[in-house]
Amino acid sequence: MAKKPTVASDWLCGCAGCHMSLLDMDERLVEIIQHVDLTATPITDLKQPPAAGVDVGVLEGAVNNSSNEEVAKRMRERCRVLVAMGDCAVFGGIPTMRNRGCKQAALRRAYVESESTVDGRVPDDPELAVMQEARPLDQVVEVDVYLPGCPPPADAIYLALKELAQGRMPELKGKDLDWH
Ligand code: SF4
């Protein structure tokens, strides 16, 4: 029997909504699973990092800190084709709202003016999510396929995975990315 293409997915800074849209494929998920081997994904117990030589990697979310950057680079190294799934991965989406200069006000409100403040000061922690600029995935690694939408429609994810599973690059048109 021919070896099935392998697929791995992971998320960076997002809301998990794109992976939920993946699950919205419903019965078609069963069909896709018959044609691919899902080697690692946060939506099952297969949470270990993907091994080298994965055919298709799917990443959700913007790159927000050094650990996101590590995950993005690891996926790029280990996956032949890399898919940016959802607006956060494609162009930065909602996480990039923090890049607009209201950072200090947000930090003061959370850490200084809040009733639950611990010592009345903003922590000096470079890994604090809001301290860093959020970036779209292709500012960190090369991306092969863009699947926009917040989240992308289940139909678009299905079409993209089906094409990739058959060794073709998906050519999604406007109507494929429309919810209605
Ligand atoms: Fe969530 Fe939308 Fe970002 Fe997907 S694109 S992770 S649904 S905010």
CATH number, residue 91: 3.40.50.700
Residue 112 lies in a domain: no
How many Å is the Cα radius of gyration of the chain? 18
**Residue 107 domain flag:** no
Total structural domains within the chain: 1
Residue-number span of the structural domain to which 162 is assigned? 6-95+133-171
In a domain, 166, yes or no: yes
| DSSP-derived secondary structure for 149-178 | SSSPPHHHHHHHHHHHHTT------GGGG-
In a domain, 91, yes or no: yes
**Does some domain include residue 105?**
no
Q: Which of 10, 13, 18 to mutate to test the pocket of ligand 1 (most atoms within 8 A of CB)?
A: 18
Distance from residue 24's CA to the centre of ligand 1 (Å): 14
**pLDDT, tens digit only, all 180 positions of the chain:** 678 999 999 999 989 999 999 998 888 888 888 889 988 888 877 667 778 899 999 999 999 888 899 999 999 999 999 999 999 999 999 888 878 777 777 778 888 888 777 777 887 776 666 667 899 999 999 999 999 999 999 999 999 999 998 889 998 777 677 654
Instruction: Flag whether 46 is in a domain.
Output: yes
In a domain, 86, yes or no: yes
Judge whether 108 lies within some domain: no
pTM for this entry: 0.86
Could you tell me if the CB of 86 is within 6 A of ligand 1? Answer: yes
**CA of residue 20 to ligand 1 center, whole Å:** 10
Q: Is 93 in the pocket of ligand 1 (CB under 6 A)?
A: yes
Non-local (6+) Cβ contacts of 174 within 8 A are none
Cα of 120 vs centre of ligand 1, distance in Å, is: 32
Residues in the chain: 180
Is residue 140 classed as helix, strand or coil in its secondary structure? Answer: coil
